[in-house]
Each structure stands twice: as structure tokens, then as C-alpha cells.
């Protein structure tokens, strides 16, 4: 599937089929994630593949908008290292965008979970104090077909040469 098509058609997925995602597909997606660029090629990311019900349930309780974490067959926790890159949030976000696009190409849906009690979630996952839990990403075969979310028109967010200048 073309990049352009996947970028435009990918949706955040919050309902998943009760169908397993094979390990080799999960690893293929994480392999795509690690090809993101990063500040000075620091690659400040690590991933935890979570399948255990008990852990997923705990994470779901810690994420304000993440009730559906418990219902995804797989959850990927993305950990970044502020000591390895001052831009670890940005580097990590590029890797996760890769992950979400690669997943969609394989027929798999994801959703970025941003709001959670990070300190408690780090405890649940045994993540050391000095590392950052960027996001937990539920992953699975979609059981919904969400409508495209609204988008600001391109001409409202593009300027020429100078901020606010509308055309040449």
C-alpha cells in the first residue's frame, strides 16, 4: 500500500477483534519503528510487548482515555531515554508514527495513548526511574471503521516565506 494512501486512511482504532497478532508481525512493526531518524542517531527508544491480561488491565486503569487498552490483543509500551537524546520525545514520536503506519499497512490498528499516570504505569512495567514512558499503544485487528476526523484546510495552515503570509 502506498505511503500516501496509508497516511490518509489510517485511523486511530479503539475497538479490536478478538484475534491474535502473531509475534512475527509485531516484530516487523517494531523493526519499522526503529528506522525512524533520531537526534545524532541516538535511537533513544525501547519497546515492551505486552500480552498478559493482568498487565493490560492495570495499564487501562491508569490511562484516562485508555479503557480499551485491556481489550487489545497486544499493547506496545514505548520507552525513551532523556539521557541519550535531548529530543527523546520527538525521536520517539517519529518511531511511533512509523509503527502506526507500518501496522496499518499490515491491516492492524493502533491508538496513541498519551494521558496516563506515568509513574504508576512505569512501576507496573518495571521501567527504571531515569527513563520516560512515552506512550502505550494498543495494537490489533480493527473492529471498527471510524470516520475521518475533521482537518483544518491546508490553505489555513500553510504560509509562504513568512509566518502569516498567504501567498506569493
Q: Which residues of this protein are in contact with its own copies, per CB under 8 A?
A: 1-4, 6-8, 10, 12, 27-28, 30-32, 34-37, 39, 41, 43, 45-52, 55, 79, 87, 89-94, 96-98, 100-102, 104-105, 112, 114, 125-128, 131, 134, 149-152, 154, 157-165
The DSSP code for 85 is -
Place of cell 490498528: 109
State the minimum distance, in angstroms, from the CB of residue 18 to its own copies. Answer: 20
Q: Residues, the chain, total? A: 168
CB atoms within 10 A of CB 85: 20
Minimum distance from CB of 8 to its own copies (Å)?
5
What distance in Å separates the CA atoms of residue 68 and residue 156, rounded to the nearest whole number? 34
Closer to its own copies at the Cβ: 63 or 101? Answer: 101
CB of 152 to its own copies, least distance (A): 5
In the bound complex, what is the minimum distance in angstroms from residue 103's beta carbon to its own copies? Answer: 9
What DSSP state is assigned to residue 18? S
Write out the three cell numbers for 138: 494498543
Phi and psi for 132 in degrees, rounded to 5? Answer: -110, 135
Q: Which is nearer to its own copies, 4 or 19 (CB)?
A: 4
Amino acid at each position: 500500500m502506498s505511503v500516501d494512501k496509508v497516511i490518509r486512511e489510517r485511523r486511530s482504532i479503539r475497538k479490536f477483534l478478538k484475534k491474535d497478532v502473531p509475534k512475527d508481525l509485531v516484530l516487523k512493526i517494531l523493526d519499522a519503528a526503529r528506522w525512524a531518524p533520531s537526534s545524532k542517531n541516538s535511537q533513544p527508544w525501547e519497546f515492551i510487548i505486552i500480552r498478559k491480561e493482568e498487565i493490560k488491565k492495570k495499564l487501562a486503569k491508569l490511562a484516562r482515555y485508555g479503557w480499551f487498552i485491556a481489550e487489545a490483543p497486544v499493547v506496545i509500551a514505548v520507552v525513551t531515554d532523556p539521557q541519550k537524546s535531548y529530543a527523546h520525545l520527538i525521536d520517539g514520536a517519529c518511531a511511533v508514527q512509523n509503527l502506526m503506519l507500518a501496522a496499518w499497512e499490515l491491516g492492524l490498528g493502533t491508538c496513541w495513548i498519551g494521558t496516563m499516570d506515568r509513574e504508576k504505569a512505569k512501576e507496573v512495567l518495571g521501567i527504571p526511574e531515569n527513563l520516560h514512558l512515552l506512550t502505550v499503544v494498543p495494537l490489533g485487528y480493527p473492529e471498527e471503521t471510524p470516520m475521518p476526523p475533521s482537518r483544518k484546510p491546508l490553505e489555513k495552515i500553510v504560509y509562504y516565506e513568512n509566518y502569516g503570509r498567504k501567498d506569493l
